[in-house]
């Protein structure tokens, strides 16, 4: 297979030094390291100019949105040892992230266990991780270029232009730490191209090369499932190409080994998540965040990839992209290659067409052939209706939905082609000048002050939140439980939170030391969904029940309540003057001062029953046969089950259950827990049932008796009937609880 190599022209300085006619080993090593150093320094300088991490002083660079979830997982790692659990979130229970499968284990081990102890906070650790990802991406891209025998000068182009891709800045700016870790992409691409272009070295060195490459593939797998899957698809394509070219069946073993190193670890991580799901589970939170149709919504478009990013520093280019995104549907995260990579991409596509019409000659550069072939494979992965749709149909979504993210691989392939083309220029000084010009073009085209975070805002949010949590801690005491109002689901908000982001509930946790917070439990987990049951009750009852459940106070987020001003008025009327108001007026805090002894001689038992009602109510969940989605629950065919789930081990002696079945074309039979049956004709029918549930789970079964077509189940409600003493206790507390008085 080494015959596949087509050697480029070498730099005259390199030839002279490596020939031994002059220079030393030190000079030789310095020359080899020079492109890595140059590309890394340029990329680091661009990242520092953009993000200015010293201005953050440890604050969270982007204190909203997905950034807060990533910082929370880092903070979990700092406090509990691993990112998937936190005993200060989802109070009084424990946040369990296993229902929302995340396979970025390497990231949280590195950021939470290495960077954070050195830098002192989750905010500083994440900020410096994304900043350093730029020079690291440059180094690995140069390494791939040098593997493909690009000259030291030409290899600077893919090194710098790849590290400074618009998508890299975008991910770093919103702190998608997994997708910002682009330095793993050249490793994944090396796993593909080295199948067609194996290293020309001794068998012993080849073994070490394979070990190092497999290690890199494992790291890639545990950094981003997207990058691992995309690299795995290119490895599979390259392996088939190598088999056709060589007829050497051992290539399949090498290909399979690399594929397993890319997808095996993330598969194991996903399986571990399933093993450690909560013992009583409604449904996995990931099911409400992913849809099989997402592959069509988030597939890429070629025009979108070739247009400038919306953050381009030149207004007329910015307007072109903005008008495109506003005019044409499904922006798919606005993929953009940048000018240099776009030229390389168009060149590779055109070359592939031209190569088809002419005969292959000995002068053909096989590297270009390989890059072009992988580009066509990557293009079918990237585009709407391509491989992503097939993947989604076979695997019912398969966990990968934003197939447009493949464009970063296409960009690297294109940039390598640009470097190879530059190497065909015979004169060293001219080649050097072109590399300098292309590098400047990439810097001007791909960097922008629009990516720069608002340091003043970040520090202001930290200051306000920190002062607020310290004041609450002084009032409520160490380890106190604080209920966050209004109730907001995680990971998909169940209400409009704007202008706050859906994940702003993590802010008090991230800027406090030992207080426990109600936010952060995952939707579908009964240890979090008790808040949904609580929120359905009158506000006065909510306050009374929270006091009975042991919460020390209520924290009201007035920004999150902006969309429902009537709630803000209601809670202010009920709770009166706040015990603490944050410095910028965002948060109001109220102590809970409930006289639980006011419930009479049987107060202890009554309060205990109210605590069960608050924290361990019966909950009605979709079960087997019902698809869970953000907009409701659906059955397409076959039988289905609803599940009454409670964390109260003894169950409930008497509960009320209601739900509505919308069945346009099918007649159904509903089997209720006590054995009674309800026959439903096509149409919308409300079902009501009362009875006892014993143990943690009780099924309600739905069968089709005629007709076809989907039906929907909506308005799933379960609530217990309290004992007489507990009902009196709740009424008494609701009347007397006045946190602000």
What does the pLDDT look like over 595-625, one tens digit per residue?
Answer: 888 887 788 999 999 999 999 999 999 999 9
Q: Is residue 457 part of a domain?
A: no
Range of the domain at 702: 614-723
Mean pLDDT of the region 479-483: 97
φ, ψ of residue 576 in degrees (nearest 5): 75, -145
pLDDT class of 288 with cuts at 50, 70, 90:
confident
**Are residues 699 and 673 in contact, defined by beta-carbon separation less than 8 angstroms?**
yes
Q: Is residue 113 part of a domain?
A: no
Reduced to 3 states, what is the DSSP secondary structure of residue 740? coil
Q: Is residue 81 part of a domain?
A: no
Q: What angle do CA 433, 355, 422 make, to 5 degrees?
A: 10
Mean pLDDT of the region 343-349: 94
Looking at residue 91, what is its pLDDT?
Answer: 96
Decide if pLDDT at 360 tops 80.
Answer: no
Cis previous bond, 162, omega within 30 = no
**Are residues 130 and 139 in contact, defined by beta-carbon separation less than 8 angstroms?**
no
Mean pLDDT of the chain: 91
CATH number of the domain to which 621 belongs: 2.60.120.260
CA dist., res. 321 & res. 450, Å (int): 14
pLDDT class of 29 with cuts at 50, 70, 90:
low
Tens-digit pLDDT profile for residues 623-673: 999 988 766 799 988 999 999 999 999 899 999 999 999 999 999 999 999
The helix or strand, by DSSP H or E, that contains position 701, with its residue range, turns out to be strand 697-706
- Domain shared by 190 and 47, yes or no: yes
Q: Which residues of 406-416 are buried (b: 16+ CB within 10 A; e: fewer)?
A: bbbbbbbbbbb
Looking at residue 508, what is its pLDDT?
Answer: 98
**Cβ count within 10 A of residue 638:** 10
Tens-digit pLDDT profile for residues 303-319: 999 999 999 999 999 99
- Domain shared by 444 and 543, yes or no: no
Q: Is residue 579 part of a domain?
A: yes
Reduced to 3 states, what is the DSSP secondary structure of residue 480? coil
- Domain shared by 29 and 167, yes or no: yes
Give the strand order in the sheet containing 553-557. 516-517, 481-485, 553-557, 587-591, 580-581
Return the axis-axis angle of helices 428-446 and 156-163, rounded to nearest 10°.
0
Q: Is residue 469 part of a domain?
A: no
Decide if pLDDT at 691 tops 70.
Answer: yes
Q: Is residue 741 part of a domain?
A: no
Mean pLDDT of the region 696-716: 92
Tens-digit pLDDT profile for residues 515-529: 999 999 999 999 999
- Domain shared by 228 and 305, yes or no: yes
User: Per the confidence metrics, is the pTM higher than 0.85?
Assistant: yes
Looking at residue 23, what is its pLDDT?
Answer: 55
Looking at residue 352, what is its pLDDT?
Answer: 83
Contacts of 408 (CB under 8 A, 6+ apart): 165, 167, 168, 182, 185
Question: Which residue is listed with tokens 């005259």?
Answer: 12
Tens-digit pLDDT profile for residues 56-101: 999 999 999 999 999 999 999 999 999 999 999 999 999 999 999 8
| Residue from 524, 741, 480 nearest 621 by CA | 524
Q: Which residues of 549-561 are buried (b: 16+ CB within 10 A; e: fewer)?
A: bbbbbbbbbbbbb
Of 286 and 534, the structure prediction assigns the larger pLDDT to 534
The helix or strand, by DSSP H or E, that contains position 642, with its residue range, turns out to be strand 640-645
CA dist., res. 406 & res. 381, Å (int): 7
Decide if pLDDT at 593 tops 70.
Answer: yes
Tens-digit pLDDT profile for residues 165-186: 999 999 999 989 999 999 999 9
| Residue from 548, 532, 567, 226 nearest 404 by CA | 226
Q: How far is CA 681 from CA 661, 663, 684, in A?
A: 10, 8, 8
- Domain shared by 31 and 126, yes or no: yes
- Domain shared by 153 and 257, yes or no: yes
Decide if pLDDT at 358 tops 80.
Answer: no
The three-state DSSP-derived secondary structure of 646-700 is CCCCCCEEEEEEEEEEEECCCEEEEECCCCCEEEECCEEEEEEEEEEECCCEEEE
Q: Provide the number of structural domains found in the chain.
A: 3
Looking at residue 12, what is its pLDDT?
Answer: 41
User: DSSP string spanning 124-142?
Assistant: HHHHHHHHHHHHHHHHHHH
- Domain shared by 125 and 138, yes or no: yes
Q: Which residues of 144-180 are buried (b: 16+ CB within 10 A; e: fewer)?
A: bbbbbbbbbbbbbbbbbbbbbbbbbbbbbbbbbbbbb
- Domain shared by 203 and 295, yes or no: yes
- Domain shared by 310 and 222, yes or no: yes
Mean pLDDT of the region 190-217: 93
Looking at residue 342, what is its pLDDT?
Answer: 96
Q: How far is CA 564 from CA 496, 530, 590, 606, in A?
A: 8, 22, 20, 34
- Domain shared by 365 and 489, yes or no: no
Which range among 137-151, 678-692, 727-741 shows the weakest confidence by mean pLDDT? 727-741
**Cβ count within 10 A of residue 679:** 10
Structure tokens at 678: 């309800």
- Domain shared by 602 and 643, yes or no: no
DSSP β-bridge partners for residue 92: none
- Domain shared by 570 and 627, yes or no: no
Q: Is residue 415 part of a domain?
A: yes
CA dist., res. 688 & res. 202, Å (int): 76
Decide if pLDDT at 722 tops 50.
Answer: yes
Mean pLDDT of the region 461-485: 96
For the purposes of burial, counting CB atoms within 10 Å of the CB of 93, is it exposed (0-12), middle (13-18) or buried (19 or more)?
Answer: buried
Q: Is residue 129 part of a domain?
A: yes
């Amino acid at each position: 297979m080494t015959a596949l190599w087509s050697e480029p022209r070498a730099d005259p300085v390199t030839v002279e030094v490596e020939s031994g006619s002059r220079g030393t080993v030190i000079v030789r090593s310095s020359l080899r390291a020079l492109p890595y150093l140059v590309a890394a320094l340029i990329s680091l300088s661009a990242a520092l100019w953009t993000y200015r991490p010293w201005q953050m002083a440890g604050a969270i660079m982007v204190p909203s949105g997905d950034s807060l979830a990533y910082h929370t997982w880092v903070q979990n790692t700092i406090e509990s040892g691993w990112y998937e659990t936190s005993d200060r979130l989802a109070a009084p229970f424990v946040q369990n992230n296993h229902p929302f499968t995340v396979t970025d284990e390497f990231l949280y081990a590195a950021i939470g266990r290495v960077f954070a102890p050195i830098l002192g906070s989750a905010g500083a650790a994440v900020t410096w991780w994304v900043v350093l990802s730029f020079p690291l991406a440059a180094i690995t891209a140069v390494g791939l270029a040098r593997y493909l025998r690009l000259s030291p000068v030409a290899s600077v182009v893919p090194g710098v232009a790849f590290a400074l891709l618009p998508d890299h800045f975008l991910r770093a700016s919103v702190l998608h730490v997994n997708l910002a870790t682009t330095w793993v992409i050249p490793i994944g691409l090396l796993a593909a191209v080295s199948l067609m272009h194996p290293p020309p070295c001794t068998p012993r060195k080849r073994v070490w090369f394979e070990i190092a490459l497999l290690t890199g593939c494992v790291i890639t797998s545990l950094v981003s499932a997207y990058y691992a899957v995309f690299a795995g698809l290119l490895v599979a394509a390259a392996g088939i190409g190598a088999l056709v070219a060589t007829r050497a069946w051992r290539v399949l073993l090498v290909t399979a080994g690399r594929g397993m190193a890319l997808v095996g670890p993330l598969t194991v991580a996903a399986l571990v998540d399933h093993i450690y799901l909560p013992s009583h589970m409604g449904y996995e939170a990931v099911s409400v965040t992913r849809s099989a149709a997402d592959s069509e919504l988030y597939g890429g478009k070629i025009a979108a990839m070739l247009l400038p990013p919306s953050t381009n520093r030149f207004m007329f280019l910015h307007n072109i992209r903005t008008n495109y995104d506003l005019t044409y549907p499904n922006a798919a995260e606005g993929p953009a290659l940048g000018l240099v990579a776009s030229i390389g991409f168009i060149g590779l596509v055109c070359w592939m067409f031209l190569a088809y019409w002419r005969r292959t000659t000995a002068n053909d550069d096989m590297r270009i052939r390989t890059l072009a072939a992988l580009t066509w494979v990557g293009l079918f992965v990237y585009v709407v209706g391509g491989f992503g749709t097939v993947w989604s149909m076979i695997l019912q979504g398969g966990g990968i939905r934003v197939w447009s993210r493949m464009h970063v691989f296409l960009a690297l392939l294109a940039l390598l082609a640009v470097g190879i083309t530059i190497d065909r220029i015979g004169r060293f000084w001219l080649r050097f000048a072109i590399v300098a010009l292309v590098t400047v073009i990439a810097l001007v085209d791909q960097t922008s002050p629009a990516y720069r975070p608002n340091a003043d805002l970040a520090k202001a949010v930290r200051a306000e939140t920190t002062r607020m949590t310290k004041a609450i801690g002084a009032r409520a005491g160490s380890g106190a439980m604080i209920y966050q109002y209004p109730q907001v689901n995680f990971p998909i908000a169940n209400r409009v939170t704007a202008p706050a982001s859906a994940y702003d509930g993590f802010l008090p946790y991230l800027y406090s030391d030992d207080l426990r917070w109600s936010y952060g439990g995952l939707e579908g987990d009964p240890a979090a969904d008790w808040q949904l049951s609580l929120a359905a009750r009158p506000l006065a009852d909510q306050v009374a029940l929270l006091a009975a459940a042991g919460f020390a106070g209520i924290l009201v987020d007035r920004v999150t309540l902006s969309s429902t001003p009537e709630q803000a008025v209601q809670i202010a009327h009920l709770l009166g003057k706040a015990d603490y108001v944050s410095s910028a007026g965002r948060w109001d805090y109220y102590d809970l001062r409930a006289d639980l002894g006011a419930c009479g001689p049987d107060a202890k038992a009554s309060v205990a029953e109210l605590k069960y009602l608050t924290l361990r109510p019966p909950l009605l969940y979709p079960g087997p046969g019902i698809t869970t989605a953000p907009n409701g629950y659906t059955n397409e065919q076959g039988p289905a089950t609803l599940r009454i789930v409670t964390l109260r081990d003894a169950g409930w002696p008497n509960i009320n259950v209601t739900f509505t079945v919308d069945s346009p074309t099918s007649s159904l039979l509903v089997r209720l827990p006590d054995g009674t049956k309800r026959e439903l004709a096509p149409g919308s029918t409300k079902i009501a049932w009362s009875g006892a549930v014993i143990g943690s789970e009780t099924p309600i079964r739905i069968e089709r008796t005629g007709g076809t077509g989907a039906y929907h189940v909506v308005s799933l409600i379960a609530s217990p009937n309290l004992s007489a003493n507990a009902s009196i206790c709740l009424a008494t507390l609701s009347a007397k609880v006045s946190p602000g008085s």
